[in-house]
Amino acid sequence: MNVSGPDPQEFPRDAALRRGGGMSRRLLLGVGGVMLLGGCASTGGKPAAAGPAGATTAPTPDPRSRPTGSASSPGQSPSGGADTSTAPGDSHSNDSAPPDNSPAPGATGQDPPPAAGKPQFYVHEGDKAIALTIDDGPSSKYTPQVLALLAQYKIPATFCMIGQNADKHASLVAEVSAAGHLVANHTWTHPNLAKMTEAQVTAEIERTNDAITRGGAHQPALFRAPGGNWSPTVFSVCSKLGLRPLDWSVDPRDWSRPGADHIVQTVMGHTHTGSIILEHDGGGDRSQTVAALQRFLPQLLEAGYHFVQP
Ligand SMILES: [Zn+2]
């Protein structure tokens, strides 16, 4: 997480597989909100060393982040190649996320979508409605492969693009958008926004919006914080820029290359009505992700799920 530039490294992220036991979503979100505020206070508002373009931060992996179900080896060096110019994937670094093994709040229509200041963890479009999000691209190698699978299964997805990749692969931005997928803003350099000032956060987001629209997609309506590292500042900037904060609820940590089997099993074992699934088409070798998508997309359809966009 939070690494950018031509030679990213991969770091573990938190609580990828959410566990919540009997806690209600509302309580979890409340706790998460407190934690977010606490985290903000603890950083003292000090900006990270990252600048808006090409800067690199390499935060220390948080030991809380190691899910027992992960077969990954975070911290390893990424593979080389033309598509490694972006950061590694996302997993949460706080405990604000809801469990992914309970019914999706809102699936019954009783819990409205999150208000301002909270990210969206679930879609709320009825029984068996789920969403697929594809992060950290576009990638000249993997995005076309993902697009082909989505076309094959007629699945609409949401691509959370990193601005510098969108700028580099503008034709893919247009291709993704033309295929009916949503394009969301995922910052310019994939930094840890929770450690950045309002001005830095704003620059990361605005520059990315510009690259995405320049590439031919609509102005994004959705924003996803790298690593799920939200802060009051990030929410404030999103509000000012008219962006809805988007999170996720099923994370197989595909970016850590745990094996296609692990990715498939995690997705199939944790997806339920309302789930927002996180996958990656950028940040390194995503061949396992592509292989897993080829397997779990038809399985989800056969299980009666249908895909919507947040
Ligand atoms: Zn990401």
Per-residue pLDDT of the chain (310 residues; tens, 9 = 90+): 333 333 333 333 333 333 333 333 333 333 333 333 333 223 323 323 333 333 333 333 333 232 333 333 333 333 333 344 445 567 765 444 444 444 444 444 334 555 567 999 999 999 999 999 999 999 999 999 999 999 999 999 999 999 999 999 999 999 999 999 999 999 999 999 999 999 999 999 999 999 999 999 999 999 999 999 999 999 999 999 999 999 999 999 999 999 999 999 999 999 999 999 999 999 999 999 999 999 999 999 999 999 999 9
Cα(224) to ligand 1 centroid in Å equals 8
User: Scanning the structure block, which residue is given the tokens 């299964």?
Assistant: 153
Cα(89) to ligand 1 centroid in Å equals 5
Cα(197) to ligand 1 centroid in Å equals 19
CATH number where 122 lies: 3.20.20.370
pTM value is: 0.72
Cα(189) to ligand 1 centroid in Å equals 10
Structure tokens at 163: 């601005």
Closest CA to 16 of 262, 289, 278: 278
**206 domain residue, yes or no:** yes
The H or E element containing residue 160 is strand 158-161
- Taking the C-alpha atoms of residue 271 and residue 251, their distance in angstroms, rounded to an integer, is 10
Interval 104-117: pLDDT, tens: 444 443 345 555 67
Single-letter amino acid code for the residue at 169: H
**Sequential DSSP letters for 35-91:** HHHHHHHHHTTPPPS--SSS----PPPPGGG--TT----TTPPPP-STT-SS-----
Cα atoms in the 13 Å half-sphere on the side-chain side of 271: 27
Cis (ω within 30 of 0) for the bond into 8? no
By the 8 A CB rule, do 89 and 160 touch? no
**69 domain residue, yes or no:** no
**271 domain residue, yes or no:** yes
Number of structural domains (the chain) is 1
Q: Is 6 helix (H, G, I), strand (E, B) or coil?
A: coil
Kindly list the catalytic residues: 135, 280
Task: Characterize the bridge pairing of strands 182-185 and 158-161.
Answer: parallel
pLDDT computed for residue 126 by the predictor: 97
Question: 207-213: long-range contacts (C-beta < 8 A, 24 or more apart)?
Answer: 207/52, 207/53, 207/163, 208/161, 208/162, 208/163, 208/166, 209/163, 209/185, 209/241, 210/163, 211/163, 211/164, 211/166, 211/167, 211/170, 211/173, 212/161, 212/163, 212/166, 212/173, 212/183, 212/185
Structure tokens at 261: 């089997």
Cα(269) to ligand 1 centroid in Å equals 22
Domain span at residue 296?
25-57+83-104+118-307
**203 domain residue, yes or no:** yes
Cα(281) to ligand 1 centroid in Å equals 10
Task: Please list, in sequence order, all residues whose beta carbon lies within 8 angstroms of the beta carbon of residue 187, skipping any fewer than 6 positions away.
Answer: 162, 163, 193, 204, 205, 208, 225, 226
Structure tokens at 303: 């299980």
**110 domain residue, yes or no:** no
**149 domain residue, yes or no:** yes
**272 domain residue, yes or no:** yes
Cα(121) to ligand 1 centroid in Å equals 15
Task: Please list, in sequence order, all residues whose beta carbon lies within 8 angstroms of the beta carbon of residue 238, skipping any fewer than 6 positions away.
Answer: 205, 223, 244, 245
**43 domain residue, yes or no:** yes
Structure tokens at 221: 């309506």
- Taking the C-alpha atoms of residue 85 and residue 166, their distance in angstroms, rounded to an integer, is 11
Cα(91) to ligand 1 centroid in Å equals 8
Cα(267) to ligand 1 centroid in Å equals 18
Cα(110) to ligand 1 centroid in Å equals 31
- Taking the C-alpha atoms of residue 161 and residue 114, their distance in angstroms, rounded to an integer, is 22
Cα(55) to ligand 1 centroid in Å equals 16
- Taking the C-alpha atoms of residue 244 and residue 219, their distance in angstroms, rounded to an integer, is 12
